[in-house]
Amino acid sequence: MTQSKYVRIIALLLIALPLVWIGVRIHHNQGYVGLQPDHQYVVTYQMEVVAQGPYKVRSFLPISSQRQKIQLRPQEGVGLPSILLEGPNKVIRWQGTGGPTQEIQYQFTHTGQNIQYQLDERLPLLATVPQGVLTDYLSPSEFIQSNDPRIRREAERLTVGKEYLTPAIRALFDFVNGMASIHTSELTDAVMALNRLEASCNGKSRLFVALCRSLNIPARVTGGIILENITKKTSHLWTEVYIGDRWVPFDPLNGHFASLPGHYLQLYIGDEFLITHSTTQAFDYRYVIEKVRVNDYPVLAALNIWALMDDANIPDNLIRVLLLLPIGAFLVSLFKNVIGLKTYGIFLPVLISLALTETGLAPGLILFTSIVGLVALVNVPLDRWGIQYNSKIALLLIAVVVVALGLMKVLHTTNWLHASAPLFFPIIILTMISEKLAKKIEEEGIRKASELYGSTMLVTLAIHFILSSVSIQNFLLTFPEVIFCLAGLNLMLGKWIGLRVMEYRRFYKVINA
């Protein structure tokens, strides 16, 4: 058997066996149900009541919607509650007589999905508001004083010169989101939050709604629980604004603009209290939340990465980067060996593409292109002055740091780069490419270095669009066996001896002959 056939057989086995194993896992996990592992949460209300006489406890149950699916579970505990609708909410009530400590429990399952709305930037600010139920969401209330002169003045100041609805809402949102966030059990109304310029979720939400209503924009608060795999007592308040023909969510505390994560459990609409009870009783409560994953294909998994991340509390970004590196390296090899595009090494384009996912595509491209241009410019006088290579690299890195800091300031100020964007990894990549570019300029000149940078970024963008796919990432996390398939593909690619795509034009006449 020749060496080439031996390598080919190994490559085919590395490709075929993991695919067969993945098929067996899917079969034994009752079929294929999608690449996006759905997180479900089992939520249990647990309450303890000690009363000398009759007692009453009132709370809310979630309602299924476009964003969340609710499934009630078999109930255990003291007494059967009464459930009824009150306006847009589903209310649950317990009542009974006093005695020893009594346990009240109610349990349901929540399956949520992330939601993001694309807002029309051309909707007029002073649009006609639909009549009927929306009228209630334009009027002031006890804690949402939209008719207070201070609220009106602030809303008008923030939206001066803005003719369209979306920019006006964004100005109000950025103001409230930018206020200091505090944790407090004190009830904070809209005016109090404005006066103090700091608040928790309830104060920020009421202020944002009051600012909207003062401009004749229908808005309301809504509440529930941010689901985590813990036991907690804290609930959460956020907002919804009526835009176009639908209610759009906003969380001015956590910075979710026209969006809401899938682990937000909505329990009620309106300025309510999640739990109320009669004052003649001793009362305690907690929310027991258990995260359950429904389609991670655990049966026959050699390594269940989802369970590993949960049990060991490993950041999912770390695992994603580890799994994406091999597929990115394979793509670079494909571009270099089959297509014929040159790049700065194998791993650098992959690292740049991963860095772009941290910064965002547009801000990342601005950062990288500006740094490359800076290195090319600064390198010219340093060469003329005869600065030695090591000292020159140190000077270039100083210039990179200074310009990177300035660019980050500009990008943050213009909201191109989110304040929470992790930048340590991208900055390290910037310094690496700066050194490589400087060396290339010294060896082959600015023109060749610029051409190599251009082809590197072309490959990087192609890899970025592939690796940023959530479906691809979740497939790798669910079926890490596919890494062996990549090993087989790399073996086959390593034996490639044909013409590269870029070479067909060069050897066109020879091929025809």
Q: Mark whether 121 and 247 lie in a shared domain.
A: yes
- pLDDT bin (cut points 50, 70, 90) of residue 419 is very low
What is the CATH classification number for the domain harbouring 207?
3.10.620.30
The two structure tokens encoding residue 118? 């694309």
Greatest mean pLDDT among 29-33, 125-129, 313-317, 323-327 lies in 323-327
- Tell me whether residue 459 is in a domain: yes
Indicate the number of domains in the chain: 3
Query: Could you tell me where the DSSP H helices lie in 45-148?
Result: none
Q: The CATH number of the domain where 101 resides is what? A: 2.60.40
**Tokens 């005016």 label which residue?**
191
* Bridge partner list, 251: 256
User: How much is the pLDDT for 430?
Assistant: 66
Whether 304 has a pLDDT exceeding 60, the answer reads yes
Decide: 289 and 229 in contact? Cβ < 8 Å.
yes
- Specify whether 233 is located in the same domain as 285: no
CA distances from 25 to 32, 444, 476 (A): 10, 52, 14
Residues 442-477, buried b or exposed e (16+ Cβ, 10 A)? Answer: eeeeeeebbebbebbbebbbbbbeebeeeebbbbbb
Is 462 found in the same domain as 385? yes
Q: Within a domain: residue 403?
A: yes
Give a yes or no: residue 467 inside a domain: yes
> Among 426-430, 489-493, 498-502, where is mean pLDDT lowest?
426-430
- Rg for the chain, CA atoms, rounded: 29
Q: Are residues 212 and 107 in the same domain?
A: no
Same structural domain for residues 163 and 230? yes
Token pair belonging to 282: 């001793």
Q: Are residues 339 and 429 in the same domain?
A: yes
270 falls within a domain: no
Rounded Cα distance between 322 and 354, Å, is: 11
- The pLDDT assigned to 205 comes to 96
Domain-located, residue 493:
no
- Which domain, by its residues, includes 45? 39-113+278-293
pTM for the model stands at 0.64
103, 162: one domain: no
Instruction: Return the higher-pLDDT residue of 315 and 480.
Output: 480
Domain match, 197 and 175 both: yes
Question: Domain check: are 138 and 232 in the same one?
Answer: yes
* pLDDT 10s digits, 179-234: 988 887 788 999 999 999 999 999 999 999 999 999 999 999 999 999 988 899 89
- For 452-487, the pLDDT digits (tens) are 888 888 888 888 888 888 778 888 888 899 999 999
Distance (Å, whole) CA 513 – CA 507: 10
Model confidence over 140-191: pLDDT tens digits? 999 999 999 999 999 999 999 888 999 999 999 999 999 988 887 788 999 9
Pair 152, 251 in one domain: yes
389 Cβ neighbours under 8 A, 6+ residues apart: 439, 442
